[in-house]
Structure 1
């Protein structure tokens, strides 16, 4: 199928799903015909610029004009042969207010957010991967709810030029994908090669961390996590269960402080000019963030930077963390995008995270697990997951 026909098919199939904010019928015109991703079509979350397409950020308050140039990440993918066919739906300014996207596994359940359209488009088989962003849990949680692979790289690993970011110290560009292989192929284009050791080539050790500071884990999600841990043990991986994490509450509170402080200052200029077009969730976030003292923010940022490079003090000698991606199944209804309780600590620390879907329940709703690696061990994380995922999948 050529690109124009694919876009027509995607447009037709999207009538119920609402994963796309914009589709381009001329997407193939500037395609590079060779490269490691040659001919692979992808979606781009609508907070990331694509030349010739508007960047609306899920908001009527945004600029409706077409972007003049690609974001750096989109340009790199183009030169690797991949073709951006459109912009995927985002929560307003990648915050919490849900967009119109529905979960392709069950249309009456949330797809998660804020990268809702990206996860749904991949889960529906429309594209093999789609770019998203994460501030709290905006890649990993939609990937979990829609049952696709989700990868959040280390903070700063992917260039953010061309991203309408709202939280300078937290926002990361990542992607959802139809497999670990696809996620790794994209990483080979967008991430520095580095000198890190390859994944699980030796006897690896994993810390099992089933806890979050402010949210319980549903029974079936815990069962899924424990099953994954057992399968890793069968592969020869040393898996040790951690006690409730003493740092979790402090990290969660620090994440909230940094997020609200920065989003308030990023979006107040929009509110000053177009406040009547902004949703109440964004307006409330701006109001909250403006009450946070600068001294508190500076202390939080210092703690964030210190802990980002101190894996051993938080995790110990383990190579990876195995932890939930979400509290459980995608919640019914479309009025909220779910809890980021199992994501925001890792976003604060800036460590790379990968969601692996492992099972479907009788309703067709997915569950899976999250693997976390030390800062800038992105390729090692993907390599380990590539080896382990086949054994973790239950159906």
Structure 2
């Protein structure tokens, strides 16, 4: 399948809707047509708005706002009014939601048009849905936000919401070759989202460009909490490649080495950083916190309808219930302590440059890939931005992630936009 991004950027859609150059519903109609044309192959959607439903919307409402007329996909663990929420567990799909989730309501108030629900792994955990990687249908699109990433990669929507507990935003972005942004923890309201891990779950989004990702951040996040990073001065970039649980493939390593050379030629100082002890502790903390919270969130479902859930989910619930409160609170304390450790770990660095995944999307659809390069940042709650920068020899997307200190979301996006332009231009 020949891939092309959605034909209009967010800024172009908004301009056309506000200026009257196009009808406010024009981009949404293009999106629905693309879904009808391509989704039989990609299988990114669980529910799509009927085309006739657009005629019932108030055009004036979608001709104003920061996201006027922008069609958007919503991961199927987040409520959209009048659409079912299925959690990736078809047997448990609820009826149409009565209200929008807070994040969806904010997007709608800004003029966006939620056009459908995208595939998620079962309860945003491990068992994948039917979505295919648009670049290579026999390779995983990642998880758990597979449908949202694939929908953007295939050009069906310009932007889509996902969520991350371990690596569920960044890994699909890497495998599908789109921009993926996971904000700082607690920066985006989660009301109306199915929480499985109270202290880890974060709503994020996919886009074709960092500029488009910034447009959603303007609506969902607002101003940065702490000091912002200036992008008009030389940057210090901490480069962290090591991970005690996985290695980095040669092509991914070479792409990061290339990035450091390009950024160094433009004045950035790329400084290798080793944090093996802290990384190992954070990975341990993620395993304990995730399983403990996930088990207690899903135990009521497992107790009543366990015969309708996957063996992997039931095993995770059992594993989490076996973890004691003492161990859980010990890991929460480690999480809180390390979350405040930016300067201790990275000195005067402005951002961290690190792999998004061990390599390109692996072959097979029965798994979602390795999240070892994502989990530590999810525990820390720091913002992460995946930048697609190249392709492997086999034609699969390659890239890397940038990480910022907690609360520096907009600064990270601003830096990412500048660096992505340099990396793309130099890669041509």
| 1:27 to partner: Cα distance | 5.0
Q: CA deviation at 1:282?
A: 0.8
Specify every segment of 5 or more residues in structure 1 that has no aligned partner in the other structure, as ranges: none
Equivalent in 320, 325, 339 of residue 308 of structure 1: 339
Q: For residues 140 and 2 of structure 1, what CA distance do their matches in structure 2 show?
A: 26
| Aligned residue in 2 for 1:274 | 305
Which residue of structure 2 aligns with residue 174 of structure 1?
A: 204
SS in 2 for 1:289: helix
State how 1:277-296 maps to structure 2 within 5 Å: 277-296=308-327
Residues 1:125 and 2:193 are matched in the alignment:
no
- C-alpha separation in 2, matches of 1:144 and 1:318: 24
Where does residue 58 of structure 1 map in the other structure?
A: 88
> Could you tell me how far apart the structure 2 residues matched to 1:377 and 1:2 are?
31
Runs of 4+ in 1 over 6 A off after TM superposition: none
* 1:136 paired residue number: 166
Q: Is the 8 A contact 1:77 1:190 kept in 2?
A: yes
Aligned partners of 1:210 and 1:225 also within 8 Å: no
Q: Deviations over 1:340-374 (max 9, x none)?
A: 01000000000000000000134321000110000
The 5-angstrom pairing of residues 315-330 of structure 1 reads 315-330=346-361
Tell me the residue number matched to 1:19: 44
The 1:77/1:199 distance shift into structure 2, 3 A limit, reads farther
Q: 2:250 aligns with which of 211, 215, 219?
A: 219
Q: Does structure 1 residue 151 correspond to structure 2 residue 181?
A: yes
Note the 1:377-388 alignment, pairs <5 A.
Answer: 377-388=408-419
2:265 aligned with 1:234 = yes
8 A Cα contact 2:27 2:69, kept in partner: no
Match of 2:367 among 299, 323, 336: 336
Tell me if the contact between 2:229 and 2:350 (Cα under 8 Å) persists in the aligned partners: no
For residues 128 and 2 of structure 1, the distance between their equivalents in structure 2, rounded to whole angstroms, comes to 9
The whole-number CA distance in structure 1 between the counterparts of 2:203 and 2:168 is: 10
Moved more, 184-193 or 311-320: 311-320
Q: 2: CA distance between counterparts of 1:327 and 1:269?
A: 35
Tell me, what secondary structure is at the counterpart of 1:222? helix
| Offset at residue 263 of structure 1 (A) | 0.3
Judged with a 3 Å threshold, the aligned counterparts in structure 2 of structure 1 residues 304 and 265 are, in CA distance, closer, same or farther, namely same
TM-score, normalising length from structure 2?
A: 0.90
Whole-Å separation in 1 of the counterparts to 2:395 and 2:48: 28
* Structure 1: distance between partners of 2:244 and 2:126: 20
Count of paired positions: 395
Question: Whole-Å Cα distance in 2 between the matches of residues 5 and 310 of structure 1?
Answer: 46
Which whole-Å CA distance do the structure 1 matches of 2:316 and 2:104 have between them?
29
- Post-superposition offset of 1:2: 5.4
Partner of 1:86: 116
Q: CA, structure 1 residues 380+62, in 2 after alignment: closer, same or farther (shift >3 Å)?
A: same
**Consecutive unaligned residues in structure 2, runs of 5 or more:** 1-25
1:46 is aligned to: 76
- CA deviation after TM superposition for structure 1 residue 281, in Å: 1.2
Task: Give 3-state SS (helix, strand or coil) of 1:266's partner.
Answer: helix
Please give the secondary structure, in 2, of the residue aligned with 1:246. Answer: helix
